[in-house]
Amino acid sequence: MRRFNLRHEIDDKWLVVDGLTMEPATLGDVQVSGMSWAEACDFVDLMNSLDAIERDSIRYAAPLAAV
């Protein structure tokens, strides 16, 4: 399941929305908004990849912590 999605803003700009909070997503402390459609698509892919890596690392780290 993909956590991050696009939302169309005013003036033909796009923002990335966090599907868990339904709020604009942030990368670090920067809100991911005000982008062209192509840029926003790239950010959605990037942020969903980072989220998948984080979830997988937690899943694989748990068995190692028990050793």
| pLDDT tens, residue by residue, 39-63 | 999 999 999 999 999 888 877 766 6
Q: Is the pLDDT of residue 18 over 80?
A: yes
Q: How many domains does the chain have?
A: 1
Residue 67 counted as domain residue: no
pTM of the model: 0.80
Type of residue numbered 19:
G
Closest CA to 8 of 35, 26, 29, 27: 35
Which residue type occupies 6? L
pLDDT band at 20 (very low <50, low <70, confident <90, very high): very high
Give, as one character, the DSSP assignment of residue 46: H
**pLDDT at residue 46 in the model:** 94
Is residue 66 included in any domain, yes or no?
A: no
Interatomic CA distance for residues 14 and 63, integer angstroms: 40
d(CA 59, CA 24): 26
Mean pLDDT of 10-18: 94
Range of the domain at 20: 4-59
Within-domain flag for 8: yes
